[in-house]
Amino acid sequence: MWSPRVAFLTARGRALYYGACRAISSVGEHCLHTAGVAGSNPASPTNQINQLESTTPLDWVTDRLFVTALSHSFANERNVAMASFRKRGPYQWQAQVRKRGHPLQTKTCETRALAEQWARAVEVEMDKGVFVSRSEAESTTLEELLERYLAEVTPLKKGAEPETYRLRLFMRQSIAQRFVAGIRGVDIARWRDERLRKVTSATVKRDLVLLSHVFEVARKEWGIYVHNPVRDIKLPAGGRPRERRLRAGEEPRLMAACRQARNHWLLPIVQLALETAMRQGELLRLGWEHIDLNRRTA
């Protein structure tokens, strides 16, 4: 007869229990006495389990195997998260957490202790009903996030062209190769300080505001569970208001320099800017539909 302790298992637990026994038998570590099982329907797991219950002596199966099956059985009945671990190569451990109603969660760590720590955190969140998968954030780099923003959000803005330049600049930074789940405020602060050595504080502030919006769109619109690290740092102070005007003798020198430029459009643009006080973006977007020759306005 089969071991009485199997009676404590649910159908799922017995399936795991007997499945492990058959796996052990298949590699020759033990030999199951399967007399009387012949003629059963192999396609029916229920028939196999019932026949094994009546014909297979299972007392030789280790207590560890029984406890594992019992744990899975109770986890299935109570609908609690269940973690398992396996070694991958000499330096990695993989943790897997299963729970009914949630996709399988997997993470590879350098040590078993780190894998167990991650699994415990996921199990607690699943059991409390507050778990949100971080797998997409852990597998998406900042560069990929910026590329998606550039393709989906930037074209809808009026200042798409200068924003494209800023995003391309971000993509060339080393921090863009990092996974977004691992980017912290200190990483952004380090990038900010390096950038301040090259450009003004107003430029860096605009860059960080744009980067913050990228993280917010990813979190709110794309469903990527990621923290916005820009919120954890102090933004540079805005630039001082500019009251600079051309001084005596500077305008002829400016016009002479524009005539020597390789871009022949530079001179008329500068002349139009001086006459109208239009901003750079307004000058670049100016079209014939905006020109009224009769009223001499633009």
Distances (CA, A) of 173 to 52, 56, 129, 141, 177: 62, 64, 38, 12, 8
Q: Identify the DSSP state of 49.
A: H
Question: Consecutive 10-residue runs of the chain (298 residues): their mean pLDDT?
Answer: 49 59 50 40 45 45 50 52 79 81 76 85 74 73 94 90 90 91 91 92 92 93 88 83 82 93 91 88 85 84
pLDDT at 1: 41
The region, left, alpha or beta by phi > 0 then psi within -120 to 50, assigned to residue 104 is beta
Q: Is 192 exposed, middle or buried (0-12, 13-18, 19+ CB in 10 A)?
A: buried
Q: What is the pLDDT of residue 150?
A: 94
Residue in the block written with tokens 């269940």? 82
Distant-in-sequence, close-in-space partners of 120: CB < 8 Å, separation ≥ 6: 83
